[in-house]
C-alpha cells in the first residue's frame, strides 16, 4: 500500500473527529465542512509527507488548524452573511436552560481570539493533552496553559453562576 492509500484509508475513521474539531474552530456547520473539505484535499495532496510512525490524527489535525489559520488570514475582510436586521430576527429568545447555556457557550467560543479558540478546540473539545497541543501549535506548554486559562475564564463567565 502506498502512502496515499494509507492516508486515504486512515482518514475515514477520523472524519467524525475532524468534523467536530472543524465545527469548534469554524462555528457554522456548513463552514466547518468546507474547512474539512480543504483539509482532506490538502492531506491527500501531502500524503507523501506523512510518516507512518507519526499519528495520523495529530498530523491531520495540524493540517486542519493551519488551514483554518490560512483562511482567517485570507478572508480577513468583512463578509456579511446576513443583514443586521435579519441577524436580530435570528437571535431568538432563549427559554430553556440547558440548550440556552450551550448556545451562549458556542457564541462565546466564536467570539474568542483565534489563539484561544484553537487551544479550546484542541484540548477541551478534541481532548489533547497540553503537551500534544503545544507540539501541534509549536508553542511552549506554558503558553497553551495560559491561553487555555484565559479562554476558560471567558467561557466560564457565559455559564451559569454555579454551573
Q: Which 91-130 residues touch other proteins, going by CB under 8 A?
A: 91-96, 98-99, 101-103, 105-107, 109-111, 120, 123-125, 129-130
> Which grid coordinates are listed for 4?
496515499
Query: Residue 95 to residues 44, 92, 117: CA-CA distances in angstroms?
Result: 45, 9, 27
Least distance to other proteins from the beta carbon of 88, Å? 7
Least distance to other proteins from the beta carbon of 100, Å? 8
Work out the widest C-alpha separation in the chain, in whole angstroms: 55
Please identify, using beta-carbon distances, which residue of 3 and 145 lies nearer to other proteins: 145
Residues 18-57 touching other proteins, rule: CB under 8 A, are 19-20, 23-24, 26-38, 40-41, 44
CA distance 75 to 7: 29
Residues 57-96 touching other proteins, rule: CB under 8 A, are 71-72, 74-82, 84, 86-96
Run of H or E residues at 8? helix 3-11
Amino acid at each position: 500500500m502506498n502512502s496515499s492509500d494509507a492516508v486515504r484509508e486512515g482518514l475515514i475513521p477520523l472524519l467524525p473527529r475532524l468534523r467536530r474539531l472543524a465545527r469548534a474552530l469554524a462555528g457554522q456547520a456548513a463552514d466547518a465542512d468546507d474547512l474539512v473539505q480543504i483539509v482532506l484535499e490538502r492531506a491527500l495532496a501531502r500524503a507523501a509527507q506523512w510518516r507512518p510512525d507519526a499519528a495520523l490524527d495529530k498530523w491531520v489535525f495540524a493540517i486542519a488548524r493551519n488551514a483554518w489559520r490560512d483562511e482567517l488570514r485570507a478572508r480577513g475582510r468583512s463578509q456579511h452573511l446576513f443583514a443586521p436586521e435579519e441577524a436580530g430576527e435570528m437571535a431568538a429568545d432563549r427559554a430553556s436552560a440547558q440548550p440556552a447555556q450551550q448556545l451562549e457557550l458556542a457564541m462565546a467560543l466564536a467570539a474568542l481570539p483565534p489563539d484561544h479558540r484553537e487551544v479550546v478546540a484542541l484540548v477541551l473539545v478534541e481532548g489533547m493533552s497540553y503537551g500534544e497541543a503545544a507540539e501541534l501549535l509549536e508553542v511552549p506548554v506554558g503558553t497553551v496553559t495560559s491561553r487555555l486559562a484565559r479562554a476558560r475564564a471567558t467561557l466560564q463567565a457565559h455559564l451559569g453562576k454555579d454551573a
